[in-house]
Structure 1
Amino acid sequence: MGTIKKGILGGVSGKVGTIVGVHWKSSYYIRAHAAKVSNPRTPKQQEQRGKFATVFGFLKTIKPFIRIGYKEFTEEKSAYNAAMSYMLKKVVINSEKEITIDFNRVLVSTGSLMPVFEGTATASEGKIFFNWKDNSGMGNAEDTDITMVLAYNKDKGMAVYDTEAGSRQDEAAELMIPDEWQDDELIAYLSFRSADGSSVANSVRMTILS
């Protein structure tokens, strides 16, 4: 129980109702008492925390890529927060056993630029080889658009990427992958950004052939 020093206009020591009084260096201070959450770990809260942790674990491995890939959405929030928002709404799967990511719906980049046309990916000799058809002149696609490639290792939770792997007109790019990834499950994405960096294409997931 708190006490009031020197009458009703004096300092407060201890807890009085919803405030807490503190005496320090001959002065009295009051602060609001922290409210208690009746059930801070409801199933809904635990589910949301699980989703957040799952998406965070993925995004932290490709954060520099995301900064470029979500550049068109940085007026009201950061690129990272825009990516987090999208992933939480569209990509996370909550099954009875675990919370996972639907990598088919993942967008490591998104925007208004014309995306890749007829892309493929092949793994060989420690590299992933990306190929596509040059669709420059279709919509806002230009031959100078810069190629961005990414590979994510589902088994190790790691990623490698290159945000300057060539240009749209090259119709090909390659990405080095670590030797120890040879037997792991990999996921690849291919995208473009304009030469001036103002616009970005939706990434396309590539099925990796061997």
Structure 2
Amino acid sequence: MATIKNGVIGKASGKVGAVIASSWKSINYLKGLPKKRTKGMSEEQLIQQERFLTISKFLMPITPILKVGFGLSKTETMAPTNVAMRLNIAQAITGVYPNFALDYSKIDISTGSYLNGGAMAATVAGGILSVDWDTTLNSLYKTKADDQVIILIYQPEKDEFMTAPTPPTRADGTIDIEIPSHLLGGKGHVWIFFTDRKATKVSKSSYLGELDLA
């Protein structure tokens, strides 16, 4: 694949013979048409494909959260979701092909050096998920009372995610989230991270554990 800067053909797009011209993030590319596969994939290729599918099924539904959580780590050639994919495919997949599974405790939904909520905890009682964190502000990290707190809950049996309807702030120190009745009775996994209002500072996510949703 070649990159076009300001060649004699200028900015190009579409198919020309055996070449496809395209543009992404103001970068112009030339690449050859893919060759037709004449033989099946190797075992190694099948393993890599299954690892990719295992993590992508989990991450794709939470793309809006990943855009915030990994927004500061994106590159000119890699979107935030792809950064999240690469990180989690390396650390969060367990098991042996073809029976891969996810280690939820090792999944990151954000990355960064912003200060999190200190002593954080999550509990469930009477169909209500309660999450608590430290409200102390840190002058070195310049944390703010109006920092947003992003909370994610995942129920594997239903394969459903939920978040707080409106993200609480660092100053709130706690939030109660009502769990929909159809998610009750199973297990739930909870993550949390902090970001400033403009998402220019983001903390690494913390896994708050597996809870009985009752």
TM-score range, shorter chain: 0.7 to 0.9
Q: CA–CA distance in 2 between the matches of 1:64 and 1:47? A: 28
Residues 158-173 of structure 1: pairs in structure 2 closer than 5 A:
158-162=160-164, 164-173=166-175
Return closer, same or farther for 1:36/1:150 CA change in 2, 3 Å cut-off: closer
Does 2:83 match 1:56?
A: no
Q: Please state how far the C-alpha of 1:36 moved relative to its aligned partner.
A: 4.2
Q: Please state how far the C-alpha of 1:114 moved relative to its aligned partner.
A: 0.9
Does 2:83 match 1:82?
A: yes
Q: CA–CA distance in 1 between the matches of 2:134 and 2:173? A: 6
SS at match of 2:144: coil
Letter in 1 for 2:70: Y
Q: Please state how far the C-alpha of 1:175 moved relative to its aligned partner.
A: 2.5
* Contact 2:123-2:130 within 8 A present in 1 as well: yes
Q: Please state how far the C-alpha of 1:49 moved relative to its aligned partner.
A: 1.0
Q: Please state how far the C-alpha of 1:163 moved relative to its aligned partner.
A: 7.9
| Equivalent residue, structure 1, for 2:126 | 125
Residue-pair matches, total? 180
Structure possessing the higher radius of gyration over alpha carbons? 1
Q: CA–CA distance in 1 between the matches of 2:114 and 2:68? A: 13
Q: Please state how far the C-alpha of 1:156 moved relative to its aligned partner.
A: 1.6
| Equivalent residue, structure 2, for 1:154 | 156
SS at match of 2:106: coil
User: Higher mean Cα deviation, 132-141 or 121-130?
Assistant: 132-141
Q: CA–CA distance in 2 between the matches of 1:176 and 1:68? A: 24
* Contact 1:146-1:192 within 8 A present in 2 as well: yes
Q: CA–CA distance in 2 between the matches of 1:94 and 1:139? A: 42
Letter in 2 for 1:181: L
Q: CA–CA distance in 1 between the matches of 2:107 and 2:37? A: 38
Unaligned runs of 5+ in 1: 1-18, 20-31
Which whole-Å deviations, capped at 9, do the CAs of 1:104-130 have from their partners, x for residues lacking one? 111111112112211111112333110
User: Higher mean Cα deviation, 193-202 or 131-140?
Assistant: 131-140
Q: TM-score, normalised by structure 1?
A: 0.76
- Percent identical among aligned pairs is 18
Which whole-Å deviations, capped at 9, do the CAs of 1:68-95 have from their partners, x for residues lacking one? 1111112332111111111111111132
Which whole-Å deviations, capped at 9, do the CAs of 1:17-53 have from their partners, x for residues lacking one? xx9xxxxxxxxxxxx9945444x32221111111111
Q: CA–CA distance in 2 between the matches of 1:194 and 1:33? A: 43
Which whole-Å deviations, capped at 9, do the CAs of 1:147-171 have from their partners, x for residues lacking one? 1111001112110113842111211
- How well do the aligned residues superpose, as a CA RMSD in angstroms? 2.5
| Equivalent residue, structure 2, for 1:145 | 147
* Contact 1:116-1:204 within 8 A present in 2 as well: no
